[in-house]
Amino acid sequence: MNSNHAPSRRRWLHLVTAGLAALGATLSLGAHAQTAPKELRIGFQKYGTLTILKAKGDLDKRLAAQGITVKWTEFPAGPQLLEGLNVGSIDFGTVGEAPPIFAQAAGADLVYVANQPPAPGGEAIIVPKDSGLKNVAELKGKKVALNKGSNVHFLLVKALEKAGLKYGDVQVVFLPPADARAAFERGSVDAWVIWDPFLAAAEKQLGARQLADGKGIVANHQFYLAARPYAEKHPQVIQAIIDELAKLDRWAATNPKAVAELLAPQIGLDPSITEVAAGRFAYGIVPISAQVAAEQQKIADVFHELKLIPKAIRVSDALPRGVAVAKSN
């Protein structure tokens, strides 16, 4: 847990209680009469609180009592997960900051539901242990692997900017995590921009070194998103997910070893690795705010300026009704 960024427990519990009630109301605005679906399809990745929720089984039990089956589908990264949401194969999922922007630019009808506090230490630019590279500025002209459209895409942009480089000063190689690790191990790329638990695994198993993590550079929020038609038709199901995630956060924040033990078999890594990754999570789910939405808009604008997305987008179009984007000073 990142105590520098997460709200105090009392404060965030108050925010969760008040904000989630408001969330249910905003998702219900304009919705048809609530109906109980037969199935909830959740997309998850090898990180974050949804993976822990799946392992604990509390949501499955709660919805089973209402006649709703939960189907869990694993995705290698956020862009692929939101592609699944866009084509209608899942109803709800969790990703970082960049994937919703790319998805919205591609026409996905999604809605931001909630987010975790910032966890900037949960992603980093790494190099092999025997690499001669010592800082981000030395990446000029080098090959850097990352998953296109993932959170780490923005980390690279901002880290290069901080080091006085432009995005075009490096050779970006787009690879999903498994392929990127293989390329990293055989020396086909000079650096890899990656998130936990892949980050923790590379550090523990390969001795990878960090050139920079997200601290002081990016926020690295974890977002929960839903297909808007599903959220508006079944707000009570979305509310149940958030309720269970809030309970989970309260438990996880004070039980790091138990979290690591739950995660290890879920993601196929040793508990010593998952404990490092879980320690860099940020617990304390809150409804999406105008300020966080404004931060998302800045990211979207940067991606459009770099021509990484085909058109400008308005993050406000993907917010629950009643949530406005805060204006920049």
One domain for residues 108 and 27 = yes
Q: Span 112-140, mean pLDDT? A: 97
- In terms of pLDDT, which residue wins out, 7 or 168? 168
| Assigned domain for 1 exists | no
| Assigned domain for 99 exists | yes
Q: Which of 166, 181, 213 is the last residue of a domain?
A: 213
One domain for residues 81 and 52 = yes
Tell me the pairing of strands 110-115 and 223-227. Answer: antiparallel
| Assigned domain for 81 exists | yes
One domain for residues 152 and 207 = yes
* pLDDT tens-digit map of 259-314: 999 889 988 899 999 999 988 989 999 999 999 999 999 999 999 999 999 999 99
| Assigned domain for 328 exists | no
- Model confidence at 3, pLDDT cuts 50, 70, 90, reads very low
One domain for residues 133 and 226 = no
Look over the chain and give the mean of its residue pLDDT values, rounded to a whole number.
Answer: 89
Task: Average the pLDDT over each of 109-123, 175-189, 310-324 and give the range with the smallest value.
Answer: 310-324
The total of structural domains in the chain comes to: 2
- pLDDT of amino acid 214: 97
One domain for residues 182 and 257 = no
Q: Which of 150, 182, 213 is the last residue of a domain?
A: 213
One domain for residues 104 and 244 = yes
One domain for residues 111 and 127 = no
- Model confidence at 34, pLDDT cuts 50, 70, 90, reads low
- pLDDT of amino acid 47: 81
Q: Which of 166, 196, 213 is the last residue of a domain?
A: 213
Share of the chain above pLDDT 70, in %: 87
| Edge-to-edge strand list for the sheet holding 143-146 | 171-174, 143-146, 191-195, 123-127, 209-213
Q: Which two tokens stand for residue 326?
A: 């805060």
Tell me the pairing of strands 209-213 and 143-146. Answer: unpaired
- Model confidence at 48, pLDDT cuts 50, 70, 90, reads confident
CATH classification of the domain holding 126: 3.40.190.10
d(CA 41, CA 180): 28
pLDDT above 70 for 234: yes
* pLDDT tens-digit map of 23-33: 555 554 444 44
pLDDT above 50 for 1: no
> Are 226 and 82 contacting, i.e. CB atoms less than 8 angstroms apart?
no
Question: Whole-model pTM above 0.95?
Answer: no
d(CA 281, CA 211): 20
One domain for residues 229 and 246 = yes
Show the domain range for 21. Answer: 9-117+221-318
| Assigned domain for 325 exists | no
> Are 232 and 211 contacting, i.e. CB atoms less than 8 angstroms apart?
no
| Assigned domain for 200 exists | yes
| Assigned domain for 329 exists | no
Q: Span 226-238, mean pLDDT? A: 95
One domain for residues 113 and 233 = yes
One domain for residues 17 and 113 = yes
Query: Counting beta carbons within 10 angstroms of the beta carbon of residue 59, is it exposed (0 to 12), middle (13 to 18) or buried (19 or more)?
Result: buried
One domain for residues 233 and 313 = yes
| Assigned domain for 192 exists | yes
Nearest one of 11, 107, 21 to 322, comparing CA atoms: 21
One domain for residues 113 and 13 = yes
- pLDDT of amino acid 320: 87
